[in-house]
Structure formats: structure tokens, C-alpha cells
Structure 1
Amino acid sequence: MITRFKDYLAKTNLAKNTVASYVWTVNYFLSHYGEVNKKNLLAYKGYLVENFKPQTVNLRLQGINKYLEFTKHDRLKVKFVKVQQKNFLENVISDADYKFLKAQLKADGYEDWYFVVWFMAATGARVSELLHIKVEHVKVGYLDLYSKGGKVRRLYIPKNLRSEASLWLKRKGITSGYLFLNRFGQRITTRGIAQQLKHFADKYGLNRDVVYPHSFRHRFAKNFLDRFNDLALLADLMGHESIETTRIYLRRTASEQQKIVDKVVNW
């Protein structure tokens, strides 16, 4: 049954990691609770709520619900738990720390990493999207990304980044192909980027919690709205399905809130 469930998921255009997560969840449920009934499903939900964050709980429940769809037990589907929206952005690198990191990487001769950081912060690219950028895209100034639903999102490379990246590529003698390669000449991995960023955080005395790939995508969004207050355009640039997702960037980061409170509250 599990094998057939896995095949069923594979036909629904889900990412491999998502399929693996759902299959693991169902295996865990069946091995620990046995029979699929309302009582056992609610017991499993209770276990999840007590031990995991709401996002993780809902991911597990989504896997269970997919299995219930597959086995034609839709009436047993479990309701998701409510995720409380925070009124601030967490763990976003500050503009000052971003500029400091970039400057240090350049000064110390880590040119490839200087451009990794700059490309993420200046394009809003997800780290997986960053790996698709080629020399040819730098030349034309953009990269078209295609989602599973057939939608196209254009990732723009700003003029100042294009100009400096072109000189960097010329110095390296690279005229085509992917920008970011490892020492073996293969595309660097998302994990490799994340690990190296933590190394640089330690090296330069930055908070490790804010130096990770997606933090620079957040920085792009914050900086964009600070300079050009158009939420609908930012939603398009970020590739958000709903403008509601983009609204989070109208909020202050926790550290920004603290600074404002410290400055304003003197009573």
C-alpha cells in the first residue's frame, strides 16, 4: 500500500522531498497507531501538537490527509492547527551587516562568495534559483524561471551588479555556463552555500542566526520596499502567489522594533 501511495504522490507534481516526508509520516503513523480511524488520527495529532511547531504539525497532517485521499477515507481528514502570525520578521540580516559582510568578502579576496551574497540580496533569488544563473543571463540582465504550474517569473539582475559581475567573469575567463561552481567545476549545492555562509558568520563575528541563504532574499524585499513602496510589484518579483504573503515585509524586524521602542519610549 505504501509503495502505491508513493507512486500516487509522484504523479501529483510534488517535490521529491515532500513525497519522502509524506511517506515517512504515513509509515510512522501506521507503525505506531496501526488502524486508521478517527480516534487514532486524533491521538497522533495530539502527539504532534505537544512535540512540534505548528508548521511541522501541519506538514505531517498534510501527509496523513493525502493518504486518506488516496485510500478514499476523505471523511476522516484531520483539521490543521492554526499558525499564529508573528507581528515582526525574525532572523533577517540587517542592511549594515549585509554591507559589512559583502565588503569583508571582497577585501579578503573571497570574490566568488562576494557575488553569491550580492546576487541573492540584489535579485531576491531563492538559493535553489541562484544555482540556475548563467553567464548568458548576466549579459541579458535577467533569468526566466518556470514554476510547476507553468507560470513564468523573471528574475532581474540590476545594472550595477551586471557591470561588476561581467568584469569578474572576464578576469576568470568564463564566457558561458553556470556562475557558481565548486572546486571540482560542478555547480555548488544549496547545502554547500548554507554551510559556507555560517563559516563566514563565525569568521567575521556576525550572528549565525541571520547569515543563511533565505535571509538575503528577505533583505532584498525589505530594501526594495524601503526605496520603492510598491507591494504588488514586489510580490511579482518575489514570485509570491498571493500579495498577502508579501505583506510580512511591511513589518519591522524584531531588532528594528527594539531600536524604535528604545528611542521613543522615555516615560
Structure 2
Amino acid sequence: MKDFELYLRKAGLAENTVRSYLYGIRVFLSNYELKMEDLFEYKGYLLDNFKPKTVNLRLQGINKYLTFIGQEDLKLKFVKIQQKPFLEDVISHADYLFLKRMLKKEGNLKWHFVVWFLGATGARVSELIKLKIEHVEVGYFDIYSKGGKMRRLYIPKNLRTSCQKWLDVENRHSGYLFLNKFGQPITARGIAQQLKNYANKYQLDTNVVYPHSFRHLFAKNFLAKHNDIALLADLMGHESIETTRIYLRKTATEQQAIIDKVVNW
């Protein structure tokens, strides 16, 4: 860490910036490993608990460190700073159902269930890749954060039942739920890339077909069916209910539809 500190100081960064970067790196290294799955998980944690400006500051520190150690291929993208009065880049419920239906129709059940689990559980992609068949059998997955907090990821009954039928046909009764072609747990990057491939194949907007988009969809659908924002905050693993309030907003498309319907003067 001393060498990294010297690297930052030689770059002429302000003292507060150096301290901020060093603090962020220490937090990351004490809780996560330097691999893409953990970097995605860390970014998800930041997005759920901090404002975009703070998220980008932490990501900038991580990226500086990755450059320092020669791992630039792991660098993370920053988030958009501007706060808009609507949700954007969220897959519509219709497109979610269409994607599920097309994957099932073509017999691509593994990816049918990847999409279904993302949309029906609110799981982060870093959590989805850790799901095991045993979790499907009991109906939930207890996730322990690095700080010792526990969040329960529930698997809805209809999803659980359908998934168990698929697993029975596959003759799989234990181990990780989603495997790649080599029989290893699928990666977060693999899921993100494959979703883009299917978006292109089925002519869906690639800007809204990405893992975290389905988490947004879960939250919006939950509030539409069961207007309990405090419960949703618990289900999403948000430390502050203020973070969850964004899901009370409409998407830009929904706002336009409401205006078209309501404003006739």
C-alpha cells in the first residue's frame, strides 16, 4: 500500500484525493478479492448505498489501483452523475416476458431461468452466480454481507416449481445452479455478455438488457403489486430507504404515456 500511496503522490493528486483513494482501496481489499465478480459485487454495493458522486470517487480509486498493478482489463465503468426525475435504462415488463418466452420456446432453458431468476428475485448478478440447487429446494438464499449483515433472497413458488422440473430432467440435484459449457459456475461477465447477445438476436434494446436492469424491474413490479417500500428496502438489501425511493418514479416512457392519456386541454 505504501508503493501505491507513493504512486498517487507522484501523480500530483490533492491530499484529500490521495486519502480518499487509499481508504477506498483498503476497504475493498479487506472485504473482496481482485477478480471481476467481486468488482461487480463491490460496484453493486456502492450503487445501493451511496450517491453517484461518491460511487464514482470510489471507482476512480479502484481503477487507479488496477492501473498501478497492471490489471487495467478489470477497470470498472463510472456511473452517470446527473439525477433525472425518472428511471432510465430499465427493461419493460413486456420485453422481460418476451425474452423469457423466446428462450423457452427455443429450448434454451438455462438462459430462460437466468432471466427469470434475475427478474423475479431482485438478485444482483454477483449473487445469482452463487445460487445453488439446494437454495432452490428450500426456496431462499441467505446472503451475508462483508459487514456481517444478512439478507434473504426469496425464490417465488412458481419459479421454484418450474426450476425443479428442469433440474429433474437435467438430473441435477446439488451444486451451483447456473454452469457454463465447461461445467463451472457461470461468471458475472459471461451473463452480461450473453444477455447482450440475446437482446441482439431478438431485436431488443441492448441498453436495457443487462443484469442490473432486471433488479430494477423487480423493484418496480413489487411496488406496483405490493406498495410496501420498507419491505422492498429489506428485500433489496438497501441500508437506507431513501435509496429505494427511486423505484417510486416512473420511467420516461411511462411518464409520456400518462401525459398522453391525462393531458387533453
Q: TM-score range by the shorter chain?
A: 0.7 to 0.9
Q: Secondary structure of 2:152's partner? A: strand
Paired residue for 2:205? 207
Q: How many aligned positions are there?
A: 217
TM-aligned CA distance change 1:84 to 1:201, over 3 Å:
closer
Decide which of 193, 196, 204 is 1:195's aligned counterpart: 193
For the 8 Å contact 2:93–2:217, the answer to whether it is kept is: yes
Paired residue for 1:111? 109
TM-score (norm 1): 0.74
Distance 1:56 1:140 in 2: 35
Paired residue for 2:127? 129
Distance 1:7 1:224 in 2: 39
Distance 2:124 2:105 in 1: 26
TM-score (norm 2): 0.75
Distance 1:234 1:136 in 2: 25
Q: Secondary structure of 2:260's partner? A: helix
- State the structure with more CA Rg: 1
TM-aligned CA distance change 1:211 to 1:150, over 3 Å:
same
Paired residue for 1:169? 167
The residue type equivalent to 1:153 in the other structure is: R
Q: Secondary structure of 2:86's partner? A: coil
Paired residue for 2:235? 237
Stretches of structure 1 that go unaligned for 5 or more consecutive residues are 22-52, 64-82
State percent identity of aligned pairs: 62
Q: CA deviation at 1:62?
A: 6.3
Distance 1:13 1:258 in 2: 46
Distance 2:56 2:212 in 1: 22
Paired residue for 1:225? 223
User: Are 2:33 and 1:13 aligned?
Assistant: no
Distance 1:55 1:93 in 2: 26
Decide which of 142, 145, 148 is 2:143's aligned counterpart: 145
Paired residue for 2:13? none
Q: Secondary structure of 2:207's partner? A: helix
Q: CA deviation at 1:112?
A: 0.2
TM-aligned CA distance change 1:251 to 1:14, over 3 Å:
same
Distance 2:248 2:59 in 1: 30
Q: CA deviation at 1:58?
A: 3.0
Q: CA deviation at 1:265?
A: 2.4
CA root-mean-square deviation = 2.7
Q: Secondary structure of 1:155's partner? A: strand
Alignment of 1:59-138 (within 5 A): 59=58, 83-138=81-136
- Describe the superposition over 1:239-264 as per-residue Cα deviations: whole angstroms up to 9, x where unpaired: 00100000000000111111112222
For the 8 Å contact 1:124–1:221, the answer to whether it is kept is: yes
TM-aligned CA distance change 1:60 to 1:135, over 3 Å:
closer
- Describe the superposition over 1:17-43 as per-residue Cα deviations: whole angstroms up to 9, x where unpaired: 69xx9xxxxxxxxxxxxxxxxxxxxxx
Distance 1:165 1:235 in 2: 26
Relative contact order, higher structure (CA 8 A, sep 6+)? 2
The residue type equivalent to 1:13 in the other structure is: S
Paired residue for 1:249? 247
The residue type equivalent to 2:180 in the other structure is: N
Paired residue for 2:57? 58
The residue type equivalent to 1:93 in the other structure is: I
For the 8 Å contact 2:22–2:61, the answer to whether it is kept is: no
Distance 1:181 1:220 in 2: 23
